[in-house]
């Protein structure tokens, strides 16, 4: 596994999810928040609407991009998709860990080949474990799995890292376990972040920014708490303060 590149810039530890259904709104958000937030998630909705152009817009502004496509297909198809995503110049690409070791290995190979050919920095390959919208009941009913969430997340995470993934995407609830079992070198990106009095929406396994950073997240993904706020800059500033507090708590351990 390559040396993991973790940013120490507080403004890069917050990844804003551009999960909106209006292209003009997305570009307006980028224009207004680019001086404050340096990392953005381009997810399935935005990828389908305007993916490559959105990536190019973010790159022209010197911003970082998490290409959240959650590739999950036969190995060669995932190879091809990761190769093209790498050519876009993004900073993070993810696949679903349930695709297995061979698929993850193909994804890693594609990233390396595309990066070497274009002489660009390799994006981190992240593996999604269990979606934050799922709980133990969902796992049992939908996957007929006898593992609980934490045991399954750890199992998938270990397999993904062994297969070549640079990091893991997991809910905040599994952070302590993964840090204990996988160590500090692995990059962990955490969605399911809520602020203030936590409103879960369709997320079932959530924490605050401070708690997630304290428990070991390198990056937190935030969407609705910022996007739906009347004063977005106040919410962003509060999140940055929570990130700082979480890092201070982690240093004291």
d(CA 138, CA 173): 16
Query: In this structure, how many other beta carbons lie within 10 angstroms of the beta carbon of residue 220?
Result: 26
Query: In this structure, how many other beta carbons lie within 10 angstroms of the beta carbon of residue 214?
Result: 24
Q: Would you say 45 and 70 are in contact if contact means Cβ atoms under 8 Å apart?
A: no
Which helix H or strand E contains 247, and what residues bound it?
A: helix 232-252
Which helix H or strand E contains 13, and what residues bound it?
A: helix 10-13
Based on the residue annotation, tell me whether 151 is a catalytic residue of this protein.
Answer: no
User: From the DSSP assignment, how many helices (H) and strands (E) are in the chain?
Assistant: 11, 8
- Quote the distance between the C-alpha of residue 77 and its chain's center: 21
**70, 210, 214, 232: which one is catalytic?**
70
Backbone angles phi, psi at 177, to 5 degrees: -65, -45
First to last CA, the chain: 27
Of 145, 119, 124, give the one whose Cα is nearest residue 134: 145
Which residues are part of the catalytic machinery? 70
């Amino acid at each position: 596994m390559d040396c993991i590149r973790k940013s120490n810039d507080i403004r890069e530890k917050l990844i804003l999810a551009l999960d909106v259904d209006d292209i003009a709104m997305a570009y307006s958000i980028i224009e207004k928040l680019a001086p404050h937030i340096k990392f953005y998630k381009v997810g399935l909705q935005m990828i389908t609407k305007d993916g490559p152009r959105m990536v190019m817009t973010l790159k022209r502004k010197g911003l970082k991009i998490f290409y959240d496509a959650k590739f999950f297909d036969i190995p060669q198809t995932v190879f091809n998709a990761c190769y093209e995503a790498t050519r876009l110049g993004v900073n993070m690409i993810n696949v679903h860990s349930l695709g297995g070791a061979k698929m993850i290995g193909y994804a890693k190979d594609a990233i390396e080949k595309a990066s070497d050919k274009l002489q660009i920095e390799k994006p981190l390959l992240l593996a999604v474990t269990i979606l934050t919208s799922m709980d133990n009941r969902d796992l049992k009913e939908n996957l007929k799995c006898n593992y609980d969430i934490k045991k399954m997340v750890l199992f998938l995470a270990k397999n993904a890292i062994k297969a070549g993934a640079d990091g893991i995407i997991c809910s905040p609830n599994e952070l302590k376990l993964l840090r204990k079992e996988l160590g500090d070198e692995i990059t962990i990106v955490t969605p399911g972040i809520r602020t203030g009095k936590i409103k879960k929406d369709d997320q079932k396994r959530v924490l605050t920014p401070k708690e997630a950073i304290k428990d070991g997240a390198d990056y937190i993904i935030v969407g609705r708490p910022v996007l739906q706020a009347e004063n977005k800059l106040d919410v962003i500033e509060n999140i940055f303060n929570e990130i700082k507090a979480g890092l201070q708590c982690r240093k004291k351990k």
